Amino acid sequence: MSDALTHAIHVEGLVKSFGRTRALDGLDLAVRTGEVHGFLGPNGAGKTTTIRVLLGLLRSDGGTAQLLGGDPWAQATELHKRLAYVPGDVTLWPNLSGGEVIDLLGDLRGGLNKQRRDELLTAFDLDPRKKARTYSKGNRQKVALVAALASDVELLILDEPTSGLDPLMEEVFREVVRAEVQRGGRTVLLSSHILSEVEALCDRLTIIRDGRAVETGTLAELRHLTRTTIRAELAGPVDGLAGLAGVHDLRSQDGQVSFAVDNTSLEQALRLLAEAGVRGLVSQPPTLEELFLRHYNRPAAAAGVTR
Amino acid sequence: MKGTLRLTRLALRRDRVQLPIWLVAAMMLLYAGAAAVKDEFPTEADAATALKGAVTSPAVLLMRGIPVGVTQGALVNFRNYASLLVLVALMSTFLVVRHTRQNEETGRSELIGSAAVGRHASLGAALTHAVIANVLMGLLSTLALLGAGLPAAGSLAWGAASLLTGLSFAGIAAVGAQVFSTARAANGFAAAAIGVAYFVRGVGDALGEVGPDGIKVTSNWLAWVSPLGWGEQVRPYGDERWWVLVIPLLFFVACAAGAYALVNRRDLGAGLVPARLGPPAAARSLLSPTGLAWRLHRGTVIGWLIGGVLFGYGIGTLGTTVNDAFEENKGVADLMGQLAGGASGGLVQVFYAAMMAIFGVLAAGFAVQVLLRLRSEETAGTAEAVLATATGRIRWVASHLTIAVGGAALLLAASGLAMGLGDASTGGQTSIGTLVGAALVQLPAALAVAGFVVLAFGWLPRISVALAWAGLVVSIVFGMLGDLFGLPQAARDISPFSHVPAVPVADAAALPLVALGAVAVGLAFGGLALFRRRDLTS
């Protein structure tokens, strides 16, 4: 009961196979009520499959999934009144106009805020009179976004919602989502590849790979797991740096040292530098990108172990 | 033109299951048809009696074509030629649209077009594929007929005519695929072209002159306007006229050239008919699953209604003519009786009963087309958009079923009404109410086919489209034409149409209708239960 209140989505050990392919292999995902949760992973990692299980479009083969306190398969229809979904690849009925599709989807969800609809149409600069067959990918995505964001729902499930939008519209999207969350009462699950978008919007995030969650936490927590790159100009030679656990790629030449250090050993490394006398120092904070690449490039078997 | 060859290979590979099914099915039908003739008309005198009767009826000529002689081959021609040419035409048009406009609509062409292939490669590949498919079809037809022991010249003429008739329609479809911006519209255009060609050919034959032997018929010039008429005028097994083959050949070349020229005049994805702006907001009536289903099927429903009414009226006006013609001819009356499920009675009534069976098939075809939208919505992803809202799966299927059932009932009632008006306009005695009732008697059988489609969709979604059309074709071949193709009774009983009482000749017996209705409901419920339990697949 308390879990249902604190978590909009709670998935444990989710398994889904298509024939011999295991698309989800014991996936865990917890999205707290009221947060924007980033859902990252390379193509084919299982992001869309997870979302489709959460929407009751696919039936899971194992594990548990809770959505807004209910069973996403058995109670799909009731739960769908409380959420809105934007698919990654939006297809629309070619002979309906954009405005018609927005009203239809909104109404099928149980109602649409007309004023919000018009505001969003203006913000996204979308002509609702055009037939869907004449829209570009980006414009089809705008149609789905307007329909979802103008619905008065608790949970937004957005599957790579900006993959067809231009940078200007991406910015509009960010502003709109931020405003939504500030108004309160909304939870967002945002699947994405775009790191800057996730950094800008998300409170917490989960990285998945090969159907499993490999990292989850707040941005700060995840940064903690990465390395800071340091370059320093020193007054004298530095001792013990090479022997310190957590220091990598150490190079020193003419009083210049450069190395990468695990954030757990950062303090010790800095103390050693200070003892040698620091004349200049450049440090590069860890980027999400590094974190991301580390997980993407690593072979699957090692992914869970080498934290 | 660069890349045409590779795209042709790709197209052939995509059709590696579908094409053999068309070819083998046509071959088996031909072989069975040829064998059935031998059993039913052991001597040429038997055949002559039946044909002398047949040619006096414009309705028979309209549906069947013209007799070209009394030999076994000539009889196979009279009974099976016209319907096989339609089959070949359907194969060719579906094929061309599938590999041109449908590719473009789904975005596959964009991917291919950006690779190193010429602007015309896609069209060129589709037409090459059509040529290959039709050459195979012609060759196999000839072999099947030779295998049934028919003369070489006629069998060869049949194969050649089949080849070139197929190509004529491939050409028509190629032009349609350029003009219309959706595969649905292009297929609709091509199907309408086949229907018009059949009708024009039929009228040309119905208005033809019977020769001095009382059997052979010379068609009116109208038959020469129709691509199906050209195939017919080659007259396999009856003094073959080889030169006629030049006409469809030239027609194909002209259509292909036209389609090539059109490619240059439009953008990828667009048609020649430009899209207009729509309303900025939805009307109240659109805002429900059924409202959406109606919007999606509106054009289909109206199109079928117009077709049904025109066809019904046309049949109605033929009633009295049939009566006059049949009075002396037991042979034709029997033939019509076979079509009407073995009924006998007043001649006009027998005629109407036989025609009602055709309307039953039309209603079933309509229902199949509407229900297959479920699958195309699923593969396109629009089903996902609806099912991610508060619309449940059952409600979504039910919205399309409503249109299928309501539309089929409306189509039958309107066709019956139009038939009654046609009958009345030529001084017939059959009441409009009787004909509307007789048409509606076909509804349970049509719905049984619809139920089968729902079952296929719920159970085996990936092959449901092929299953659905196969179900309809089997129902037609085994039910209505089972006699003509000499199939055993047990096989004929598979078809729902075999169980429909031949109203207005027979009484509308309740038992078979209730049973058919129950089968329809059972199949549909089975399909719904299976759909509720399965994953959405693309």
Q: H or E stretch including A157?
A: strand A155-159
- Whether the per-residue pLDDT at B40 is higher than 80: the answer is no
> Cα B59 vs. chain centroid, distance in angstroms?
19
Lowest mean pLDDT among B136-150, B332-346, B393-407: B332-346
What's the average model confidence in pLDDT over B143-162? 93
Return d(Cα B452, Cα B469) in angstroms, integer. Answer: 10
Q: Is the pLDDT of residue A20 over 50?
A: yes
**Nearest neighbour of A110 by CB, restricted to B382, B390, B535:** B390
Give the model's confidence band at B358: pLDDT under 50 very low, under 70 low, under 90 confident, else very high. confident
**Band of residue B138 on the pLDDT scale cut at 50, 70, 90:** very high
Please list every residue in chain B whose beta carbon sits closer than 8 Å to the beta carbon of residue A92. Answer: 382, 385
The pair of three-digit structure tokens given for residue B22, joined into one six-digit string: 């068309």
User: Containing H/E element for A214?
Assistant: strand A212-218
Domains and CATH numbers, chain A: 2-216 (3.40.50.300), 227-285 (3.30.70)
Asked if B388's CB is within 8 angstroms of A58's CB, the reply is no
| Per-residue confidence (pLDDT) for residue A300, from 0 to 100 | 46
Instruction: Report CB contact under 8 Å: B296, A109.
Output: no
Question: What one-character-per-residue DSSP string does B190-211 give?
Answer: HHHHHHHHHHHHHHHHHT-EE-
Q: What is the pLDDT of residues A40-74, one digit of tens each?
A: 888 888 999 999 999 999 999 999 999 999 999 99
Q: Say what the pLDDT of residue A1 is.
A: 46
Residues of B in Cβ contact (< 8 Å) with A100: 278-279, 281-282, 286
What long-range pairs does A163-169 form, CB within 8 A, spacing at least 24?
A163/A88, A163/A193, A164/A136, A164/A137, A164/A138, A164/A140, A165/A138, A165/A141, A166/A138, A169/A124, A169/A125, A169/A138, A169/A142
CA distance A15 to chain B (A): 14
User: Is A107 within 8 Å of B282 when comparing Cβ atoms?
Assistant: yes
pLDDT of residue B316: 85
Record: contact A89-B295, CB cut-off 8 A: no
Q: What pLDDT sits at residue A301?
A: 42
* % chain A with pLDDT above 90: 52
Res A129 pLDDT > 50: yes
Instruction: Give me the pLDDT at residue B344, please.
Output: 54
Beta-carbon contacts of A55 under 8 Å, excluding residues fewer than 6 positions away, are A72, A76, A80, A85, A157, B384, B387, B388
- Please report the pLDDT score of residue B307 as a whole number: 83
Of the pLDDT bands very low, low, confident and very high (cuts 50, 70, 90), residue B350 is confident
Distance CA B156, CA A197 (A): 69
Q: What is the ipTM of this complex?
A: 0.83
Interchain contact, B390 vs A87, CB within 8 Å: no
Residue type, B350: V
Q: What is residue A2's predicted lDDT score, i.e. its pLDDT? A: 55
Antiparallel, parallel or unpaired: β A36-40 and A204-209: parallel
Q: Is the pLDDT of residue B343 over 60?
A: no
At A51 the three-state DSSP class reads helix
* Identity of the residue in B389, B534, B535 whose CB atom sits nearest the CB atom of A80: B389
Q: What is the mean pLDDT of residues A184-197?
A: 86
Residue A62: C-alpha distances to residues A26, A29, A52, B88, B531 (Å): 8, 14, 15, 49, 20
Q: Are strands A155-159 and A187-192 parallel, antiparallel or unpaired?
A: parallel
Across B24-51, average pLDDT: 83
Angle at B39 between CA B38 and CA B40, to 5 degrees: 95
pLDDT at residue B336, rounded to an integer: 62
Give pLDDT tens digits for B215-267: 888 888 889 999 999 999 999 998 899 999 999 999 999 999 999 998 888 76
pLDDT of residue A305: 37
- Calculate how close chain B gets to A124, using CA atoms only, in Å: 15
Number of helical H runs and strand E runs in chain A: 11, 13
Model confidence at B151, pLDDT cuts 50, 70, 90, reads very high
Instruction: Please judge whether B392 and A77 are an interchain contact, meaning their C-beta atoms are less than 8 angstroms apart.
Output: yes
Q: Residues A141-153: what's their mean pLDDT?
A: 94
Q: Select the residue from A55, A134, A146 to test the B interface by mutation, using most B Cβ atoms within 10 A.
A: A134
**Using the beta-carbon criterion (under 8 Å), do A107 and B380 form an inter-chain contact?**
no
Domain boundary assignment for chain B: 1-270, 289-538
Out of B18-22, B366-370, B512-516, pick the least confident: B18-22
Q: Give which of B440, B422, B420, B442 is closest to B431, Cα–Cα.
A: B420
Question: Is B277–A131 a contact, with Cβ atoms under 8 angstroms apart?
Answer: yes
Average pLDDT over residues B406-427: 92
What is the number of CB-based contacts under 8 A between chain A and chain B?
A: 110
The chain A residues in contact with chain B (CB within 8 A) are: 52, 55-59, 76-78, 80-81, 85, 87, 89-97, 99-105, 107-110, 128-131, 133-134, 144
Q: Which of B267, B288, B389, B533 would you mutate first to test chain A, the one with the most A CBs within 10 A? A: B389
pLDDT computed for residue B116 by the predictor: 63
Query: Number of C-alpha atoms within 13 angstroms, CB side, residue B510?
Result: 0
